[in-house]
Every structure is written in structure tokens, then in C-alpha cells.
Amino acid sequence: MALIKKQQRVALVYPPGEQKISEPIPPPNMTIAVLADALAGNGCEVFQIDAEKEWFDRIQFLFSARQTELLFDKDGVDAFVKGKAPARLAAEYERLSALLLGELGLPSVDFVGITLVDMRAEPLIINFSALLALAVKKKFKARTAIGYRGMPKEGYFYLLRKYPCFDYGVYARWGEKALLEILKDAAGESSAMIGTVARKGARLRNYPDGAARRPRVPHPRYDDRILEKYKAYDGDILSKYNPDASFAKDLVKRDKRYLVTPYAFELTCTGACAFCDNDNRVPTDMKSVDQVIDELSELKEKGATGIYFINSSFNNHYRQAEELCEKMIKHRLGLKWFDCANLRIMDEPLLDKMKAAGAVKLTFGVETGSQRLMNYVNKGTTVEKAARYLEYSDKIGIWNHIELIAGFPTETEKDLQDTLALIDRIKDSVDLYTLNPFYFYPNSRFYREPRKFGIRILPAPPMQLLNFFYPIYRIVQQYSLKFDEIGGLPWKEKNEQIVRSVTALSEKIRSIATFRAIGNEHVYLLNCLYDKLGHGRKPLIRKMVKVLTTKFKPYNLNFFMDDFRTSFSKDKDPRIFLPLKDTPFLGEELP
């Protein structure tokens, strides 16, 4: 029986953003596909709109210089959606909104849900979403919701106050249930809303998230028309990379189209790492191996050649991981795939099976080169094991990606030096790095058991002092809770230490691998090269990737990028390294 009594026509929109990722060809967004599956299974007619793809591929080129200027004008859009823009300016925005609505092909709907995914204070995401919301309200009288679980409820209070075109803001940990309840509320039915800020007349009301748990790992219901736009021949892929790499022409056969699709089979985690917000006390939500095989087969039928797993880890359960590999081999899926792999439940035979089953790139959460810190955060492994498995994984041809965290609580200069030494030690086995400043998650063990870890959590600031939307340049502590180390550094000094640690690790990586090895995964390129050359030729693939990625054209730019310095580099944006008073952090007073 459908949860929603009245069938509704719902559009789910993934808006464009300039600063999300810089892949030359990104995988399609899984969020709207997951939400579409939940809504369609409950009686809704659903339309998926990948405005990100449409904008960067086509629509941006239809806008005049003046219309583009208006779209990026934060104050102008703000005035327009509030009905306070001068008549001439309002008329210009009306024409712009009509063009936007028409080019997206949005049909008549009752409701529009916009997934913010990675909310930033860049004008494109905010203005695009606000203009679209106002346009559908005027044309279809549709209700609108925006959502992203990574932003706290206070952020949605801010957005809904600022932009009256939004009716709901969803911060629920699992958005499918929250959106179903919102649709019931919008239809005038009895609703038990969760994790939502809702507009009720002239007031905003908060409906807490509570302890709601996802009943199952989501199934993405991809729109075939969207997937078709993400398929690319080898020539399309290689054309996005260094045009001076003459050898790339010899690789082009145009006999196969590549498509990398996101998919998940387990979001819970059995680990108990103190910094992670994934609570290991929650029972596993892993799908059965047979269900995974069936769903991967469906994606292959839709044209997928690669799978970008969005799991907490591929191998949380040794036997299930082994069985899944065996069945992927048995059923000859032939899919190349990318996933996280934990070092707690790992050995060489499992790595062999993962390779045979199609593993191209594995991301290992190494976090630190300090055994003391590994023990402190309950990583469940050793520095020696990490080095050993990375070396073996590289030996059998897998592309190794490691994650590092700078500035853990209690971190000392020796801990930092140990991590720098590990980076040197494993440099020949690592192909890609992700470097994160320490982030204090509110659901982590650090938060639940602060005294056990020597942490004193500082009081949260008043709501009006919070800064929710960071600027184009990342700052180190965006939403991180503030804390003092008991017997150690107070918050101000700790935050400065985090910046220093990030800088030191970033400079070390740059010195051995250049900034090109930080962050950009190049999943389509790896899918293509491994498909053509195989794991046994990884040394050649590595050389090719180094040459090809000297220049590349991100999907959201119209030129080849050759400056790969990250925001952690002092040369990129020195404002990040100014004292705290010069850069507003969460909880700092704003001008």
C-alpha cells in the first residue's frame, strides 16, 4: 500500500555547482536516482532532472552575457525572489527564469525537490535553486523542498527565511523517508515529518530527525535518458586530457562506450574509528550477495562498464566480500570498479580476488603514519600492515588511493613526523591522496565519549552567530565542533595546529607526487585504460596517467587546467592561513 494517498507528480533536480568536483567526466549523480526509487515505489510519478549536466553541457551557452551576470548576482536574485526588485530588473529575471525552466524541460508537476548535495556559498547553486523554485511556484503552483544531510537545521532556517520560494528544508540523515512525509504534508495528509524545517504560514517549524534508521540500502533508479548522456567513447574521454600526449591517439578505437555508475550495497560500518560518524552499534544493512549481483547485472544492461561503489567499505565482512568477488567472476560481469577497502579485514588472498573481480582503484583509510594515533582512534590495524597491503595491492596492479587526516586530537610533532615518514616510505605504492583536516563529527565516538579521548567539547554558539556557507575557497573548520584537548591545546591553538599539519602533509605530497595526485580520481580515464591494458600493465598506465593529467579539462570549465595547487597550498590562497579573526569559522562572530 502506498504511503501517499494522492498520487503526485514530482520533479527531482540536481542543480549545477562550479566548485563540486573537477573530474573531466563525472559519474551521474546517485541522489536523485535513489529518491526517485523511493517515491516511485510509493505511487508518485517522478521526473529526474540532472540540471548539472544540462547546464555545463548546453544551457550555459544559451545565456547572454547579461543573463549570466544576473544569474550570478546574489543580491539581484535575493531581491527578485522577495518581490523587491525594480520592475525592469524583475522583467529580466522573469525572462531568465522562463529560459531556464524551458531548457530543463520541466513538465507540469505538483512538487519539486532540489538536492543541494554539497552546499557552498557560490552563487550558481543558491541562485539557480532559488530561481527554479520561484518559477515552478508561479507556473505550476508547485511546492518546493531543498535538502542535503550535511548541512545542519540552522542552515535551513537561514535559507527558508532568506528565500521564501522554498517551502521545506531537509537535513534528515536519510532523505527518502523525510521526503515521503513532506509529500504527504504538501498534499494535506497527516504526516510525521522528520529532519525537516517546514514553512507553516508565516512561521518556520522544525521537525527533529530523531533516531530514524534507514530500513535498507537504497536502490538507485537511474533514468536511462540521463545515463545515455554520461556514456563516452575512449576518444571522448581522452580528448579531455593533455592534447600534447600524442600516444593517446593510438588508444582511440571508438568501439566501446564507457559509463561509470555509482551504487551502494552497505552504508553501515563494523569499524569503531573514533573520528567517524558511522555508528558501528547499528546492525549491518548490507544487501545479500545475490541481490548485489542482480542489481549490478541490471546496471550492466543499462550500459555500465564501471561501478563507483558508495559503500562504507567493500570488505567490512570478509566472507561476504570473498563471496561477492567469486560471484562477480562466476557471472562474468566484466565490470571495472572503485571502492573503499578497510585495512582491518584484509589479506593478500582477498586482494587477489578483488582484482580478479574487477577492482581498479581501492581507497584505503590509512589516516596517519603514527601507530600511537592509530591506536588512539581505534583504527584496528597497524602502520606495518598498511604499508604491506599497499605494496601488495600495487604489485598486483590496483590503483592505490589513501586518505590522510591532519590534526587529530592529541597530535604531537612526533605523530606528524611519523606520517611524513610513512608518506615517503609508501610513495612508490600510492597513486592518489585525499588529505583532510580533522573534522569533529557530532555523531562520532569522539563526541559520544569525549573524556575517554581527552576532549572537552566547547558550548555551541547562538544560532545567529553560525556561519553555514563557506566561500569559494575552503576553510579548514567549516561545521566542525569546537573542542579543547584536556591537558593539551585549547581550541584556538588546536585549530592553528590543524592548519600547520595540513600544510606540512600537503607540501610533502606535492614534493613526491605533485598536486595532481591530490583529490582528482579520473574514474573514466582509469576505467578506459584498465579496460584496454589490464592490471598487468599498471606501470605503463601510471606513466600514461602522469602525462595525460598534466593538463585536463574539468567538466565545468571550458579550458584545460594545468594549475593543480590545492587550497592547502600557501601559494593558492593565503587567506586560509591568516589568524582566525580574519576568516570566519563555524561559531566565530561574523561582521
| Whether the Cβ atoms of residue 483 and residue 491 lie closer than 8 Å to each other | yes
Least confident range from 115-129, 153-167, 199-213, 246-260: namely 115-129
| Whether the Cβ atoms of residue 493 and residue 404 lie closer than 8 Å to each other | no
Query: Which CATH code for domain 264-520+564-575?
Result: 3.80.30.20
Among residues 473, 438, 501, 497, which one has the least CA distance to residue 567?
A: 473
Instruction: Please report the pLDDT score of residue 118 as a whole number.
Output: 62
Q: Is residue 276 classed as helix, strand or coil in its secondary structure?
A: coil
The structural domains of the chain, with segments of one domain joined by +, span: 9-206, 264-520+564-575
Rounded average pLDDT over 288-296: 98
Rounded average pLDDT over 99-114: 95
Residue 205: what are its φ and ψ, rounded to 5°? Answer: -125, 140
The number of angstroms, rounded, from the C-alpha of 295 to the middle of its chain's C-alpha atoms is 22
Q: Are strands 260-263 and 111-115 parallel, antiparallel or unpaired?
A: unpaired
Gap between the Cα atoms of 547 and 545, Å rounded: 5
pLDDT tier at 565, thresholds 50, 70, 90? low
Instruction: Please report the pLDDT score of residue 569 as a whole number.
Output: 41
Amino acid code (one letter) for 562? D
Instruction: Please report the pLDDT score of residue 587 as a whole number.
Output: 30
Least confident range from 46-60, 143-157, 218-232, 242-256: namely 143-157
Gap between the Cα atoms of 122 and 56, Å rounded: 16
Cell numbers that stand for 180 in this block: 515521503
Rounded average pLDDT over 398-427: 98
Percent pLDDT > 70 in the chain is 88
> DSSP for 17-70?
-TTS---SSPPPPSHHHHHHHHHHTTT-EEEEEEHHHHHHHTGGGGS-HHHHHH
pLDDT tens readout for residues 380-391: 999 999 999 999
Among residues 356, 357, 353, 260, which one has the least CA distance to residue 299?
A: 260
| Whether the Cβ atoms of residue 16 and residue 52 lie closer than 8 Å to each other | yes
Residue 50: what are its φ and ψ, rounded to 5°? Answer: -90, 80
Least confident range from 8-12, 264-268, 575-579: namely 575-579
DSSP state, 495? H
Contacts of 6 by beta carbon, 8 Å cutoff, 6+ apart: 187, 189
Q: Is residue 543 classed as helix, strand or coil in its secondary structure?
A: helix
Gap between the Cα atoms of 177 and 157, Å rounded: 20
How many CB atoms are closer than 10 A to CB 380?
A: 16
